[in-house]
Structure 1
Amino acid sequence: MSFTVAIVGRPNVGKSTLFNRLAGRKLALVDDTPGVTRDRRLHPAKLYDLAFDVVDTAGLEVGDADTLPGRMRAQTLRAIDEADVALFIVDAKTGLMPDDRTFADILRKSGKPVVLVANKAEARDAEAGIYDAYELGLGEPVGISAEHGLGLADLRDALLEAVGEERALAPDEEEPELAGDGSLVGDDVSDDTDEEIPPYDATKPLRIAIVGRPNAGKSTMINRLIGQDRLLTGPEAGITRDSISVDWEWKGRNIKLFDTAGLRRKARVQEKLEKLSVGDALRAIRFAEVVVIMLDAQIPFEKQDLQIADLIIREGRAPVIAFNKWDMIEDRQQALADLREKTERLLPQVRGIRAVPVSGQTGFGLDRLMQEIVKTHEIWNRRISTGRLNRWLSAVVQHHPPPAVAGRRLKLKYITQIKMRPPAFVLSCSRPEALPASYLRYLTNTLRQDFDLPGVPIRMLARAGENPFAGRARKRR
């Protein structure tokens, strides 16, 4: 039976650094700026022989309940309430601050077991700060350096004492991997079968990333989907910084939702912290399967929206558009017609992309959005047999043969699908370098229409067929 550890403390004491150390990966954004972490982030962790879930939290922010600092503080208090033990971090380098004592009072009132940790113990004069921590009345402080990995053995012993050996050392229950086939989610998956094509498995776990410009309503929509205020939201733009993953179940299917930071134009991204947030969002896109492009229905298809969509298509992810804030549209019928026309005109590289009007505030259209996500995911995983493809190619070439180039006719020999996720095809022809790009687009669009592959990227590669006599010297008579 596992347990959950919440890392808490005032801003800039090293909570996210310790979170990354325990998680074994650089997941949380780390910067010298106080208050980088806003949403709470949960991830499996390991400390020697202890396996548990660790939660990174925001610092103890001061402000009214309806302000951003107040909402951040509420997220931290909720993390303490849901955890089994709290790792209370203080800065041994700077010593105790008034906020440390306030936090200590909160933890005492919570009734949760507390492990007091004095971070940055590698610094000069840190010993005095460690001794100061005794004043909090939370037991003996454990001196560590989260950045350099010092003192982790003592931290392990303190956690073991706080949780109890029976629970802390209990064997882990085997949990199914999120990627059911054992592959890294987001990689292209080869499929060498021809006629025996397995049906789409609608029970496999699914990864969905929500992306868009700042203040498009991404976090609000995720909170509405899962039915709880899991993510920090508000009228301020750019609240989300880390890419936060949320586990959810929809109609019996395990879903992992990724909330990402808003993506602004590259020229406007100047601060180091925002660059880190954008990099985190791009990683979430690359490892997702379906990416929901969140557009503001009142001002859709800004230049940045189209650049985000183009990035997702080039990455080969399965895109779905969500027109958010639909509750603020007055003439909905006319607006929907305009949005559909713009979608087809501005995104021709993924003809038939599924677009759904939604409202993260009221919940309108969210069930239909999930249905379209599953349909798009099924198309993204589709496999077409080589026999069907070559019968199709023969008919297409007869109807519209490739143009002659430099007086020589191009021969299209055969076509086969080499990968799924997204569908990728290889076309064998006599002179691939001479095949016009316009004819390749014609084949791609015709294949999309004839085999019902709307709304997903399709990759069509032209290659020369192997010559069995290449490299052999001609025999003299």
Structure 2
Amino acid sequence: MTFSLAIVGRPNVGKSTLFNRLVGKKLALVDDRPGVTRDRREGDARLGDLSFRIVDTAGLEEADAATLEGRMRAQTEAAIGHADAILFMIDARIGLTPTDRAFAELVRKSGKPVILLANKSEGRGGEAGTMEAFALGLGTPVPLSAEHGEGLGDLYDAICDALPEQTRPDPEEEEEEDAPAEEDAAEGKPRRPIKVAVLGRPNAGKSTLINRLLGEDRLLTGPEAGITRDSISVEVTYAGVKLEVFDTAGLRKRARIEDKLEKLSAADALRAMKFAEVVVLLVDATHPFEEQDLRIADLVAREGRALVIGYNKADLVARGGLATRLREEADRLLPQVKGLPIVPVSGLMGHGLDKLVGAISAAHKVWNKRIATNPLNRFLQQVTDTHPPPAVSGRRVKLSYITQPKARPPSFVLFCSRADAVPESYIRYLVNGLRESFDLPGVPIRLTLRQKDNPYAE
């Protein structure tokens, strides 16, 4: 039986470090300064033979509900409400603080089983703080070091004691088969959710849009720019389409990024883009296609991901001719992904979400598309008859054979007599012909020229 644990405590006690340790990956951003984590992040954790859901939360702070800190606290309280047990963490080197005592009372009122963790207890410096933790009245503290991996055995025993029913081995789970996945595969449906990364400039409305897809305030939002720091993954099923959506930090021009934490957030957003299959570039409709938007789109194309543009806040601009103008600008400024879907949406009002999800599903199918070799070579014969490659130094270039070795994105290999002599303009002509002839809009197309070995070269 699976269960979930929420890690809570005041800022900078090591919650994200323990989260990364239990998940086995460096998913959460970690820094020496307090308040790095803002959204609650979930992950699949393992500890010995236990498999469970772990939730990293923002540091608990006393603040007004309307402020950013107050909204962060509301997210933490929501995580406490959904968890089966709570890992309440303190800093053993600093000892108990008035903030620890205040929030220990909040955790106690939740009625959930609480495991008290005294982090940073390695060495003699943490012994006094560990003993002092008894004063909270939350039971025996578990001394551990999340950074060095010490005390995890004691944590395992504490989890088993706190949740005896959920941690008892269930022999029936080991005999379960993956029949539903096979049925979905037989019906042509994707076995797993489509991985979608939502990128864009700061304050474009990425978190608001994802919250609307989920139907709940899962991600932290507000008028302030740059609220999101970690790339948070959430699963959602909308209109029958399963999605795993990554909310990312806003990407500014590299020259403007000076803060170390913003650099980490930007790197985390780019990492989410590399693991995604479809990228939704969210553009502010009141300032569409600024230079940074084009840079992000070009980066997505070079990484080989399917691209969908959603121009958010469409309810704030006049509709007359906007879609036509954006289509013309996209085809002119982004020829490498010509024909990409452009969807008007409003994350705040919930308009256009069905069209956006439909565009994501269609882009994913194009990204996975495979074309048989016979139609490809008929296409090659037709385009070379209509427009043969230009001769170089009086010698003609012979294009003999084309095939598609892989998809994701569609990639083609063209065998020719002089690969280095084919001009770039003719390669673009072939790529545009492939896009139009085989209906490949909005995805980057890879075309590699390969020269056959000359048996008489020696």
> TM-score when scaled to structure 1?
0.92
Asked whether the equivalents of residues 12 and 34 of structure 2 are also in contact (C-alpha less than 8 Å), the reply is: yes
Matched, 1:334 2:321: yes
C-alpha distance in structure 2 between counterparts of 1:298 and 1:132, whole Å:
55
Deviations 1:160-218 (A, max 9, x none): 000005544335576969999xxxxxxxxxxxxxxxxx996456421111000110000
- Out of 418, 426, 429, the position equivalent to 1:442 is 429
Partner residue, 1:343: 330
Indicate whether 1:316 and 2:304 are aligned: yes
Deviation at 1:125, TM superposition (A): 2.5
2:19 paired residue number: 19
Map of 1:370 onto structure 2 = 357
In 2 relative to 1, CA 141–101 (structure 1 residues): closer, same or farther, beyond 3 Å? same
Going from structure 1 to structure 2, the CA distance change for 1:176 and 1:15 (only over 3 Å counts) comes to farther
Letter in 2 for 1:214: P
Deviation string 1:56-93 (CA, Å, 9 cap, x unpaired) is 00011222111110100000000000000000000000
Match of 2:116 in 1: 116
Task: Return closer, same or farther for 1:367/1:213 CA change in 2, 3 Å cut-off.
Answer: same
Deviates more, 1:237-246 or 1:125-134: 125-134
Amino acid at match of 2:282: M
One-letter amino acid matched to 1:432: A
Query: Matches of 2:280 and 2:439 in 1, distance apart?
Result: 21
Counterparts of 1:200 and 1:401, CA distance in 2: 40
Q: Are residues 1:411 and 2:398 paired?
A: yes
- The residue that corresponds to 2:147 in the other structure is 147
2 CA distance for matches of 1:239 and 1:310?
25
In structure 2, distance between residues paired with 1:457 and 1:349 = 6
List aligned pairs for 1:131-146, cutoff 5 A.
Answer: 131-146=131-146
**In the aligned structure 1, how far is the partner of 2:295 from the partner of 2:346?**
23
User: In the superposition, relative to structure 1, how do residues 278 and 272 fare at CA in structure 2: closer, same or farther (>3 Å)?
Assistant: same
Number of the residue aligned with 2:448: 461
Separation in 2, partners of 1:91, 1:136: 13
Matching of residues 65-464 of structure 1 within 5 Å? 65-164=65-164, 167-170=167-170, 172=173, 201=189, 204-329=192-317, 331-464=318-451
Counterparts of 2:134 and 2:237, CA distance in 1: 44
Are the counterparts in 2 of residues 39 and 231 from structure 1 also a CA contact under 8 Å? yes
Question: How has the CA–CA distance of structure 1 residues 435 and 292 changed in structure 2, closer, same or farther, with 3 Å as cutoff?
Answer: same
Structure 1 letter corresponding to 2:149: G
Q: Which moved more, 1:217-226 or 1:253-262?
A: 253-262
Q: Which deviations, in whole Å up to 9, do the C-alpha atoms of 1:76-113 show, x marking residues without a partner?
A: 00000000000000000000011111111111110000
Cα displacement (A) at 1:254? 2.5
CA RMSD of aligned residues (A): 1.9
C-alpha displacement of 1:114: 0.1
Residue deviations 1:121-165 (CA, integer Å, cap 9, x gap): 014321110111001000000000000001110010001000005
| Inter-CA distance 84–59: structure 2 relative to 1 (3 Å threshold) | same
Name the CA distance, whole Å, in 2 between partners of 1:339 and 1:152: 55
Query: What's the counterpart of residue 54 of structure 1?
Result: 54
Maintained 8 Å contact 2:280/2:308: yes
* CA positional deviation for 1:372: 0.8
Question: Shift of the alpha carbon at 1:438?
Answer: 0.4
- 1:245 maps to a residue whose letter is S
Report how far residue 28 of structure 1 moved: 0.3
Deviation for aligned residue 1:229: 0.5
Question: 8 Å contact 1:6–1:83 — kept in the other structure?
Answer: yes
Residue in 1 that maps onto 2:6:
6
Compute the displacement of 1:441 (Å): 0.5
Query: Partners of 1:9 and 1:213 in 2: how far apart?
Result: 31
Q: 1:202 to 1:353 in 2, by over 3 A?
A: same
1:397 partner letter = T
- Show CA shifts across 1:251-301 (max 9, x none): 334311100010111111111111111111111000100000000000011
Distance in 1 (alpha carbons) for counterparts of 2:178 and 2:91: 39
Residue type of the alignment partner of 1:350 = V
User: Take 1:11 and 1:345, find their aligned partners in 2: how far apart are those partners?
Assistant: 48
User: Do the aligned residues in 1 keep the contact of 2:413 with 2:449 (CA within 8 Å)?
Assistant: yes
Contact 1:118 1:141 in 2 (8 A): yes
Partner Cα distance (2:178, 2:282) in 1: 30
Cα deviation, 1:342-361, whole Å, max 9, x if unaligned, reads: 11111111110110010000
Tell me how far 1:341 sits from its aligned partner.
Answer: 1.9
Q: What CA deviation, in whole Å up to 9, does each residue of 1:7-60 have, x standing for no partner?
A: 000000000000000001111000001000000011110111211110000011
CA contact (8 A) 2:239 2:354 kept: no
Residues in 2 aligned to 1:402 and 1:441: alpha-carbon distance in whole angstroms: 12
- Counterpart contact for 1:389–1:415, Cα < 8 Å: yes
**What's the secondary structure of 2:34's corresponding residue?**
coil
Distance 1:63 1:121, change over 3 A: same
What do the CA deviations read for 1:375-403 (whole angstroms, capped 9, x no partner)?
11111111110011001111111111111
Give the TM-score normalised by the residue count of structure 2. 0.96
Paired residues of 1:11 and 1:60 also in contact (CA < 8 A):
yes
More displaced stretch, 156-165 vs 288-297: 156-165
Further displaced range: 224-233 or 198-207: 198-207
Q: What is the percentage of aligned positions where both structures have the same residue?
A: 61
The gaps in structure 1 that reach 5 residues or longer are 181-197
